[in-house]
Amino acid sequence: TATLRYASFRSRCCALHCSAQYSTVSNPNEKTFDKILIANRGEIACRVMKTCHKMGIRTVAVHSDVDASAVHVKMADEAVCVGPAPTSKSYLNMDAIMDAVRATGAQAVHPGYGFLSENKEFAKRLAAQGVEFIGPDTHAIQAMGDKIESKLIAKAAKVNTIPGYDGVVKTVEEAVKISQDIGYPVMIKASAGGGGKGMRIAWNDEETREGFRFSSQEAASSFGDDRLLIEKFIDNPRHIEIQVLADKHGNALWLNERECSIQRRNQKVVEEAPSTFLDPATRRAMGEQAVQLAKAVQYSSAGTVEFLVDSKKNFYFLEMNTRLQVEHPITECITGLDLVEQMIRVAKGYQLQYKQKDIPINGWAIESRVYAEDPYKSFGLPSIGRLSQYQEPLNLSNVRVDSGIQEGSDISIYYDPMISKLVTYGATRAEALARMEDALDNYVIRGVTHNIPLLREIITHPRFISGDISTNFLPEVYPEGFKGHRLEADQRRELLATAAALYITAQLRSHRLMGDLRVSSSPMDCNHWELCVELEEGRHNVEVTKSGNVYTVEVDGGRVEVNGQWNLASPLLPLSINGTPRMLQCLSRDASGKIVLQFLGTSFKVRVLSKLAAQLNSFMPEKVPEDTSSLLRSPMPGSVVAVSVKPGDTVAEGQEICVIEAMKMQNSLTAARPAKVKSVHCKPGETVGEGDLLVELE
């Protein structure tokens, strides 16, 4: 167990998250539980523990062997190892978790989200042991966890539903016939699914066949249940959900909405509360239908009813998540309620403390999901690695970071690649957005590829700022895929000037030793320099003059003034560029003048050379890039699920070659051109890294 040795770490964590934006006090006279086991990991386990500590409840963490030194383990009062790294042998291992409950004497279990949070068998086993499941009862989990049954119940409760087939689709040919009857496009999805897994959109018969195969495989892998259903796909909708809270005495409330339309692969990326789209009448109608559904299944605890909303504000029931939602913090920000505390109170049998009229909308909150992902590959394919440097932007006001990692933590292939949920709050949406921009610029993450470039581009995009969004936002705004920030002429000059100033600063520092000038004088001992800065394909001649901490740079016919403290040891580089405050990050620099700067969220590679070095550089031979058209490499770390070809096979353009699974999502890799297979370098079940050679074509 892990008790005393982690006490100081826990108090530090709680201090770091004091700006939680929800109630940080609880009623000491209201007795709930003495000890709660959290059957989860990462940020949600840490989030639940913070509320437990506030309420004076002791906590038990469960962990896999690779998570032995994870933050949630250190935060808990006790910790129990429940198995090896794969989730099926640890966090989904009901026997081991039940043993941990018995061994620690936990009176209740909070399941977080994912894993066993919507598993009725787990809730039943806890009930049989006299242990409280902090969530709804098994009837509600079963009714709402099955998308087919939930749709029938929603219809009966007079909740608007999407046209579709009310039954399980058993075969590929049946799926094609049903899709034709409903009319394309259709959504094929796992009956027991969630989190975007086991979901495919089909626009024709061929895509239905392919979607049926992938969805059933993903559903079986993620949920142990390969049943599928098909319904009409509403093109260009918004995804808006209603947070509900109900007790065991028949009381239920709706806690306003969350706008979750910014998605990739049916997984949310940026959420906000409230929505810019809803008027009070639509909000009330959606809230009341959500409560009707909750009451229809005698729901108790926190839950979320998800709706698709079309351009005319017609809304349709999508599904109900019978657990705490990933994006619950934005609801806490605008209502002031601690949803975890409310769940614990309800589980103990207390009535809700509030009436519907007591639920406010105070201000605006935005959440960005920060992932260890490469946003330049399909808007985010998983990245793995160790966080060599990590610094959350908690120095800014009205910023909340829900995370379960720290400097030195590993992001592995076994679990979700989420680093944190970055939440900003403001009196207005503009204020919350401005704070999010600052927070993303101040967030230091090194050692893994992350999606901050994409997040920053989303929240500063004119369409997002105006509220003109749908679930198709990313493919519409970036039809060729995400390419990073596109520099305007003045921004390019700012970047070039900053790179030149940083280069001179580093050169000047290297010419000093213990505060004294080296004996040998050099051309650096002056205030005027002529340099050449390479950016992307262009070369730019710059002239730099220095006065104190201010550099004046002449570049591309313009003048840029860069002012700052120039602390080269700090990961953050706060500057004033032509009077505008900017926060840059120097990700790397070397003796050859190569510098990588994070500017406006995106990483840019520049090379700064003296005028002479630039002239001599033109004589250097250029490296010829490798011809990769005949090589199929893995775009991400993961495991090989299937290999569809063998040496000697002929493949057509777009034909599937193999399937890679990463973080429980399956990705089909196809041939870029017609070719003959020369060699196959992988087989099903193997683990591969990013860039590993899978198949070679002739």
Contact 555, 496 (CB under 8 A): yes
Which residues contact residue 637 at a Cβ distance below 8 angstroms, ignoring those fewer than 6 apart? 382, 383, 384, 413, 662, 687, 688, 689, 690
User: How far is the CA of 145 from the CAs of 286, 483, 606, 636, in angstroms?
Assistant: 20, 38, 51, 31
Q: How far is CA 95 from the centre of its chain?
A: 30
Distance CA 574, CA 191 (A): 50
Contact 224, 197 (CB under 8 A): no
**Torsion over CA of 408, 414, 416 and 417, rounded to 10 degrees?**
40
Contact 650, 678 (CB under 8 A): no
Catalytic residue numbers read 323
Tokens 């940080």, residue? 24
| CA neighbours closer than 13 Å in the CB half-sphere of residue 312 | 4
Q: How is residue 454 written in tokens?
A: 């994409």
Distance CA 26, CA 353 (A): 12
Q: Is 692 helix (H, G, I), strand (E, B) or coil?
A: coil
Q: How is residue 457 written in tokens?
A: 């581009």
What's 304-334 look like in SS3? Answer: EEEEEECCCCCEEEEEEECCCCCCHHHHHHH
| CA neighbours closer than 13 Å in the CB half-sphere of residue 429 | 14
Pick from 298, 308, 182, 313: which is nearest to 242 by CA? 308
> What is the distance between the terminal CA atoms of the chain, rounded to a whole angstrom?
57
| Pairing of β 58-64 and β 35-38 | parallel
DSSP 259-301: EEEEEETTEEEEEEES-SS--HHHHHHHHHHHHHHHHHTT--E
Pick from 475, 499, 470: which is nearest to 595 by CA? 499
DSSP 191-221: EEEETTEEEEEESSHHHHHHHHHHHHHHHHH
Contact 693, 667 (CB under 8 A): no
Q: How is residue 578 written in tokens?
A: 């032509």
- Partnered with residue 202 across adjacent β-strands are 186
Where does 49-138 show beta strands of DSSP type E?
58-64, 78-83, 108-110, 132-133
Distance CA 545, CA 145 (A): 66
Which residues contact residue 345 at a Cβ distance below 8 angstroms, ignoring those fewer than 6 apart? 30, 32, 353
